[in-house]
Amino acid sequence: MSSPLFIEPLDLKNPLNMHSQCGHCKQSFEPEPGFYYGAMFVSYTLSILLLLPLSLALVFMFDWTVNGAMALVIFLGALFFLRILRFSRALWINLLVKYDSNYKKSS
């Protein structure tokens, strides 16, 4: 049985809508207030790791202008912003909450 972290499909007015807990093991998806504060830094880091090499490659290997590369990077950043943000939250809770593959649902 799957129990997704986020409520799908993505609602643009409420992109970070999450289930309150795991449907299988009842693990809270917000263990404490502000739990996902650190996910912002993960999101920032992921965006840099994805977009910086791309822009450097475009400018130095494919002779794009800096402005052209910036325009593409801003466009891609905006396009994938919510997906990266959601992925960062998933990464964050997976870093901080241990996954127990032997968990058996009781009762």
Tokens, residue 80: 């994938």
User: Contacts with Zn ion in 8-27 (CB under 5 A)?
Assistant: 22, 24-25, 27
CB-CB contact of 9 with 73 (8 Å): no
CB-CB contact of 59 with 53 (8 Å): no
Number of residues that bind Zn ion (CB under 5 A): 4
Which residues are within 8 A (CB) of 81 and not within 5 positions of it... i.e. 6 or more apart? 47
Nearer to Zn ion, 30 or 46 (CB): 30
Nearer to Zn ion, 24 or 41 (CB): 24
Tokens, residue 39: 């996910």
83 binds Zn ion (CB under 5 A): no
User: Contacts with Zn ion in 42-81 (CB under 5 A)?
Assistant: none
Residue numbers at the binding site for Zn ion (CB under 5 A): 22, 24-25, 27
